[in-house]
Structure 1
């Protein structure tokens, strides 16, 4: 067991023993903020911190008598997980031998000579990650603590990545033995781009973009210290995003910014022009900043684009997505199963692994979350962050097991549960009085 894994599991187990779900939510948020760090490492197998804590959360959820979560979003999510497990169990047998890109062998080494589909340890690992993620969602939705876990994850990943970047700047990165503990390939030491506590710069870029969207939306919809804290987090996330110098950051940021501008214009028109002075001042401020930055802002962006287009990485990722679509065709639309193929983008990865049925179920989950969470002011920031993360993942981060994805969905699903009246006014676990004492059980607040 690693240092980070021991710390997170101790916090989670304290929550179980004290019947206080807040401790477990803190541990889940911490694990979601360090997705590339192992909690347990045995021989050639290692499990992320988030997965280890999620299994504890699942046990706590299963022991709770009020554990039922009966919203459409949760039901569809369970159906998606069931289908994913089924196709993972049958896919490598039914379509054995078709060309795939096995996750453990890397994309660059296989695009020229694809591997053949067969059962592997990756199938079992991805199923474990998926079940653990579902357990985390069920626990966070039922306890009503998903938003807390989301903010802890955002601060953990953002602050630690910025701190590690500062250490690298002075040539004293001593945190590698602590954070780089999974049995995966981390970006090379010679890469000058920041990856923080993630496996590669594109992962940091996707995380930072989602956090920035979450924080900016929170700042726009809150006041006082909540707004101040959100602005600080947005600033740190932006610094991490720029330091990642990733093509994912450039492409995804452009899409998200364009979408936010469209929403702002539609809201402006829908409110009959209310807030015109602020809109004008904001537009002038952005224009002045862009003009003042000039080439210092444009040159790095153009440099990233020029370095990416036509590079081996770009060609490999394009070929990987083409092979992924070929897997979808060869499996007649059913998919090859989780862990059977690794594409470059999230959308193609879903199509290749869980097929059209899985994509339809997952899309239905997101659609329900969007419709309901958008109507609840308190969950709009989480929804914006989730959509920003999906945009970034659709460009260059294919993993379904990304912890921030599941915690964000849980934060949006809380709104669905509240709308149906199934989320309790207090967390599902309660702290009971010690033997021999009198009085009511002490309900643990959020």
Structure 2
């Protein structure tokens, strides 16, 4: 086991958080997820597997939550029929498959999996199914995601916590954009070594790639597509906050800057994700017109919906050469993607994943056993039909969760819930297109736990009790005067 410098810093910050106000624990937990290629610890004994900074900090976050609230609120996140319950069932089932399935189908199925050669350099190859370190690491990540869900639920069901979540999201978006700017500056100035402190994971780091003459922004992630997936989540959350008129100037600036980062990442997955996020935000904003008195800027969005086609038509007529350049760029990034080496390779992954699903009679090869290039095929090839059904129930309970009537007047709480759902949808949209492993990252579980907590009855009950207490105290104050 080898500790990286960023790992020591993480431990020091974690120890400091244990003695700081608890809202700092949530802030650092969310911000730590921006470090997508920073390994705090590398484990040669597990084939060079890396434990990332967010996973290490999760330990301190959990201890701080338990110090403040005890285990009761954490366990309450997993009550039957709730979203946390279904996530727990899926996680435990996944861990069980990681232990049993590779032994049950050993050698009978070929799967795409990570292999490691001399020097702990990894590559993906088609090989017969067997138990490996990937089963262990993905099982640990799954359990970590479950714990993260519970810890976030325990914290965010407290009154006043939604504003802390909003602040944490905005800080994370700012840090992510700062790393994106640093990536560009260091690339063109020849000082990329300055970012080596946050690029310590044993991954293939594709941080110097270009496409269409543009530097593909990777920020603090191992490649541009990973940066785009993460940035899309923050764009969806900040744009949602702007629609709900929460800190409008800051959320507008961060949403626009994140959108620019997505474009310059030149990730096809990001563009496909935007095709999901934009309609989701637009429809949601229009619906609010019929639900409350302060709708989420539907007039602006409706005007935008009408103006954008007119602007595009004008550009096509006035600047045909620019249109040709843009078309060539989009053709390279999207239309010709399937015929590229990367596209053919990912198609092979999906074919192998589907074969693994079929050859295991729909049971799956076990959590962590197989890779694919779509989260749907990841689930089918790893945890089978039953795992996919449980995951769909979990997603449905998150998306269908509603704020109790007593809490709907709490504007920032409602906005935080909408932002968490928007980020959740963004994370799902990119993973379904290009997700390669079961683990969706801790930010996904933070947002899911936030939705679960912000729709919890306890928040509305506490708010209602406070209202009743204030109402009961007012006559005495008046009478006393």
Matched, 1:323 2:362: no
Partner of 2:111: 100
Go from structure 1 to structure 2 and tell me whether the alpha carbon gap of 1:21 and 1:281 turns closer, same or farther (over 3 Å shift): same
Structure 2 counterpart of 1:364: 393
Change (3 A) 1:7 1:423: farther
Gaps of 5+ in 1: 426-446
Could you state the TM-score of these two structures normalised by the residue count of structure 2? 0.78
From 32, 45, 49, give the equivalent of 1:45: 49
User: 1:100 is paired with a residue of what secondary structure?
Assistant: strand
C-alpha contact 2:102 2:366 (8 A) present in aligned 1: yes
- How many Å separate the matches in 2 of 1:143 and 1:249? 31
Question: What is the distance in 2 between the residues matched to 1:352 and 1:280?
Answer: 42
Q: Separation in 1 of the partners of 2:286 and 2:328?
A: 29
Superposition RMSD in Å? 3.0
> Tell me, what secondary structure is at the counterpart of 1:174?
helix
Match of 1:413 in 2: 452
Instruction: Quickly say closer, same or farther: Cα 1:85–1:297, change in 2 above 3 A.
Output: same
How many equivalent pairs are there? 417
Match of 2:259 among 220, 234, 238: 238
- Determine the structure 1 residue equivalent to 2:98: 88
3-state SS of 2:50 partner: strand
> Equivalences for 1:427-438 in 2 at 5 Å?
none
| Corresponding position of 1:198 | 221
Q: 1:247 to 1:142 in 2, by over 3 A?
A: same
Distance 1:107 1:321, change over 3 A: farther
- Quote the offset at 1:69 in angstroms: 1.7
Structure with more contact order per residue of length (Cα contacts < 8 Å, sep ≥ 6): 1
| Aligned counterparts of 1:217 and 1:15: Cα–Cα separation in 2 | 29
Aligned residue in 2 for 1:312: 341
Counterparts of 1:335 and 1:328, CA distance in 2? 5
Within 5 Å, give how 1:317-396 maps onto structure 2: 317-373=346-402, 377-378=414-415, 379-396=417-434
Q: What is aligned with 1:69?
A: 76
| 2:8 corresponds to | 6
- Matching residue of 1:431: none
Residue 477 (structure 2) aligns with: none
Q: Specify whether residues 270 and 11 from structure 1 end up closer, same or farther in structure 2 by C-alpha distance, changes over 3 A only.
A: closer
Contact 1:55 1:135 in 2 (8 A): no
Q: Which of 241, 244, 255 is matched with 1:221 structurally?
A: 244
Q: Distance in 1 between matches of 2:190 and 2:43?
A: 31
Give the stretch that moved more between structures: 128-137 or 338-347. Answer: 128-137
TM-score (norm 1): 0.84
Partner deviation per Cα, 1:301-323 (whole Å, 9 max, x = no partner): 23312441311111111121121
Query: What is residue 56 of structure 1 aligned with on the other side?
Result: 60
Residues 423 and 134 of structure 1: CA distance in aligned 2, closer, same or farther (over 3 Å): farther
Q: Per the alignment, in what secondary structure is the counterpart of residue 102 of structure 1?
A: strand
Q: What's the offset of the Cα at 1:8?
A: 2.7
